[in-house]
Amino acid sequence: MESSSDKHFFGFWVYLMTDLIMFAALFATYAVLRTATFGGPTQGALLDLNGALAETLILLTSSFTCGLAMLAVNSGKVRQAMAWFGVTFALGATFLGLELHEFFGLAAGGNTPQANAALSSFFTLVGTHGLHNAVGLLWMVVALVQISRRGLTPFVTSKLQRLALFWHFLDIIWIFIFTIVYLMGHVI
């Protein structure tokens, strides 16, 4: 007999796959439009590779701390779980802050989504990831409140498992963004 938790996990996997399809479409759009600068600066000239590397290291570290949080959850260690999710939140918020700083810096130089198709596709792809990151941070706050109020009940633990899957999914998407947008943007 299938439990309610199994149905929630199946539904969540379906959601992640639809998100994956959306990101695939955004990557395809970016690949087609990345050189459509209409005489403006190239992506390689505009994007800060060192900043993107720092963002990558921060986000990958947050994935590690999220894993440590889930180890604490699985061991029933409430305080450790809350502490590691707190560190994960701080790292995720730092990542988001750096991404917003990059966006505002580009916009201040006149490099907005309206400037050309390449920038439009860049802001859409990277911004969609940033929006997902913000949703993950909000979810983490709600999860921390639930842990503090209810403890690590099976209901809360199930939600935390889906949160961890979502967070790791965002890290995987970012690795592709870093590789395709930032690294390839500086090479090609």
Residue 183 within a domain: yes
Give tens-digit pLDDT for 116-165: 999 999 999 999 999 999 999 999 999 999 999 999 999 999 999 999 99
CATH of the domain at 74: 1.20.120.80
Residue 26 within a domain: no
Residue 20 within a domain: no
Q: Which amino acid is at 168?
A: H
Between 78-108 and 49-74, two packed helices, what is the crossing angle to 10 degrees? 160
Residue 7 within a domain: no
The range of the structural domain enclosing residue 129 comes to 51-187
Residue 131 within a domain: yes
Domain count, the chain: 1
Asked if residue 9 has pLDDT above 70, the reply is yes
Share of the chain above pLDDT 70, in %: 96
Residue 96 within a domain: yes
**What pTM did the predictor assign?**
0.92
Residue 99 within a domain: yes
